[in-house]
Amino acid sequence: MAEKLWRIEPSGPLRGDVTVRGAKNAVSKHMVAAMLGDGPSTIGNAPDVGEVGITAGMLEHVGMTVERYDGDVTVVPGPVADPSVGKAFTGLNRIPILMLGPLLHRAGEAFVPLVGGDPIGRRPVDFHVDALRAFGAEVTHAPDGIHAQASRLVGTRIELPYPSVGATETVLLAAVRAQGKTVIRNAATEPEIIELALFLQRMGARISFAPDRRIVVEGVERLTGARTRLAGDRIEAFSYLVAGLVTRGEVRVHGCPQDRLVTAITTLTRMGAEFEITDDWIMASAPDGLNPAAVQTDTHPGFATDWQTPLMVLFTQADGMSVLHETVYENRLAYVPALQSMGAEIEVYDTCLGGPACRYHDTAALHSAVVRGVTKLRGGDVTMPDIRAGFSAVLAAAVAEGPSLLRGVHHIERGYHRPVEQFRALGLALRAIST
């Protein structure tokens, strides 16, 4: 099969405008939620990304119709033709596990293949499975996936061991049409969770958010189809703001509401970035250079783990020693050797630096980093291991002296909206090559 590569030449400061669309994860999850409706649902402002095609394939496989037109994704629920998400979808993304609840509601049985997603940690699905069992489903593990059966899901009380985004969504998607009331304690509260809950509410679900990470859902018999327009992706927005800062340029990002970026903006401001913020766009620049910082990733409203990789490259261009403590995924610093090969001065540690002890304290997981800046990076031949690490490789290549060759482009294409177009519009000398 042909390999896609990106060749990036030093290009100077990146400047200009970028418009972000809905997040890859958000669009997929709204598509799964739409399976619960009696009629068609339309999700607007969807990005052109590989992830949507993967999820559409899964929905079509079980009998739904998916239409895509100019940023709108319409899901027309139909009778479940096959309650088994095909094994052909093994490992492609993390969406199959979220389909268990909707398939149980619609067909009383389901099989989903082993989920994939980025190799950034162990990423078990035990919270999802335990939650579905609490709703009364019979769930069994097979070597190639998970089987579930339930004549009716019944509302329940669930306390998540950690505020997992995916497990909170599994519970929501099961609870909205379960019999009776469900209470989720220690739920995730990421903006994407709220966005999904609002969509479900439009479909007729009864969901309340209570203090202290508690969500209460009163199950209803039926849901209708609904329309929504996704808010711009906060991960992509942050990544392009950093693209401007790291190259000493200035990028203006349209489409992502400020309230999704509060912690990110404050973190960058502490490092010396200056912001101009309007209702329509956010722009960052650092005319006087950047200071180092100590940052710990966390669940919302903390500093998102998906913002970590661009920040790491920014640390290489900040004047002094920065510290990063990754607390969400034990293996999310696996891309650091790629940056080191381009000259980044980064040391990784298994201890918890720059914040209180996390779940990976006393393990061998290399989840803290100390970064020395300012470092002159050099161009490299780098394989991008996952989507966010991929973006960091592009940023490193953009500030490096000499050309870089980046492999594993499909990772970026899974979740960034038209990245070649966007980067070129900012002035990056990027050539896509197919070998």
Ligand X SMILES: C=C(OP(=O)(O)O)C(=O)O
> Rounded to an integer, what distance in angstroms lies between the CA atom of residue 50 and that of residue 80?
24
Q: Which amino acid is at 152?
A: R
**Which one of the spans 38-46, 146-154, 165-173, 349-357 is the region binding ligand UD1 (CB under 6 A)?**
165-173
Interaction of residue 306 with ligand X, rule CB under 6 A: yes
In 186-337, beta strands by DSSP E = 206-210, 214-218, 227-229, 250-254, 274-277, 281-285, 294-296, 320-325
- Kindly tell me which residue out of 21, 367, 388, 407 binds ligand X, with binding defined by CB under 6 A: 388
Interaction of residue 287 with ligand UD1, rule CB under 6 A: no
Active site (annotated) includes residue 38: no
Q: In whole angstroms, how close is the CB of 77 to ligand UD1 at the nearest point? A: 22
Which CB atom, from 107 or from 131, has the smaller least distance to ligand UD1?
131
As a dihedral over the C-alpha atoms of residue 384, residue 124, residue 349, residue 411, rounded to 10 degrees, the angle is 10
Interaction of residue 93 with ligand X, rule CB under 6 A: yes
Taking CB under 6 A as the rule, which mask of x and - marks residues 188-207 in contact with ligand UD1?
Answer: x-x-----------------
Residue 410's closest CA among 394, 435, 386, 378?
Answer: 386
Strand-pairing partners, residue 18, are: 253
- Kindly tell me which residue out of 77, 136, 145, 166 binds ligand UD1, with binding defined by CB under 6 A: 166
> For ligand X, how many residues bind (rule: CB under 6 A)?
10
Q: In whole angstroms, how close is the CB of 276 to ligand UD1 at the nearest point? A: 28
- Kindly tell me which residue out of 35, 167, 241, 314 binds ligand UD1, with binding defined by CB under 6 A: 167
- Kindly tell me which residue out of 335, 415, 419, 422 binds ligand X, with binding defined by CB under 6 A: 415
Catalytic residue among 82, 118, 126, 212: 118
Q: In whole angstroms, how close is the CB of 124 to ligand UD1 at the nearest point? A: 4
Q: In whole angstroms, how close is the CB of 276 to ligand X at the nearest point? A: 27
Q: What is the DSSP string of 317-329?
A: TSSEEEEEE--S-
> If phi over 0 gives left and psi between -120 and 50 gives alpha, with beta otherwise, what is residue 157?
beta
Q: In whole angstroms, how close is the CB of 333 to ligand X at the nearest point? A: 14
Interaction of residue 121 with ligand UD1, rule CB under 6 A: yes
Taking CB under 6 A as the rule, which mask of x and - marks residues 329-368 in contact with ligand UD1?
Answer: x---------------------------------------
**Which one of the spans 33-41, 116-124, 276-284, 370-378 is the region binding ligand UD1 (CB under 6 A)?**
116-124
Structure tokens given for 264: 């990110």
**Which one of the spans 116-124, 150-158, 215-223, 316-324 is the region binding ligand X (CB under 6 A)?**
116-124
Q: Where are the alpha helices (DSSP H) in 46-164?
A: 50-62, 96-107, 126-134
Give, in order, the Cα–Cα distances in Å from 59 to each of 77, 99, 192, 351: 9, 9, 20, 42
Residue 226's closest CA among 176, 188, 191?
Answer: 176
Residues 6+ apart with CB under 8 A from 189: 163, 209, 213, 299, 300, 301
Q: In whole angstroms, how close is the CB of 246 to ligand X at the nearest point? A: 19
Neighbours of 88 (CB within 10 A): 10
Angle at 398 between CA 274 and CA 386, to 5 degrees: 100
Q: In whole angstroms, how close is the CB of 118 to ligand X at the nearest point? A: 4
> Rounded to an integer, what distance in angstroms lies between the CA atom of residue 117 and that of residue 387?
9
Query: 374, 292 in Cβ contact below 8 A?
Result: no
Which CB atom, from 263 or from 317, has the smaller least distance to ligand UD1?
263
Taking CB under 6 A as the rule, which mask of x and - marks residues 65-104 in contact with ligand UD1?
Answer: -----------------------------x----------
As a dihedral over the C-alpha atoms of residue 13, residue 266, residue 118, residue 100, rounded to 10 degrees, the angle is -140
> For ligand UD1, how many residues bind (rule: CB under 6 A)?
22
Report DSSP state, residue 260.
Answer: G
Which CB atom, from 93 or from 375, has the smaller least distance to ligand X?
93
Q: What are phi and psi of 365, to 5 degrees?
A: -70, 125
Check the annotation: does 186 bind a ligand: no
Query: 39, 14 in Cβ contact below 8 A?
Result: no
- Kindly tell me which residue out of 123, 152, 202, 214 binds ligand UD1, with binding defined by CB under 6 A: 123
What residues form the annotated binding site for UDP-N-acetyl-alpha-D-glucosamine? 94, 306, 328
Contact residues: ligand UD1, CB under 6 A: 25, 94, 121-128, 162, 164-167, 188, 190, 304-306, 328-329
Residues involved in catalysis: 118
Contact residues: ligand X, CB under 6 A: 25, 93-94, 117-118, 120, 306, 387-388, 415
What residues form the annotated binding site for phosphoenolpyruvate? 24-25
What residues form the annotated binding site? 24-25, 94, 306, 328
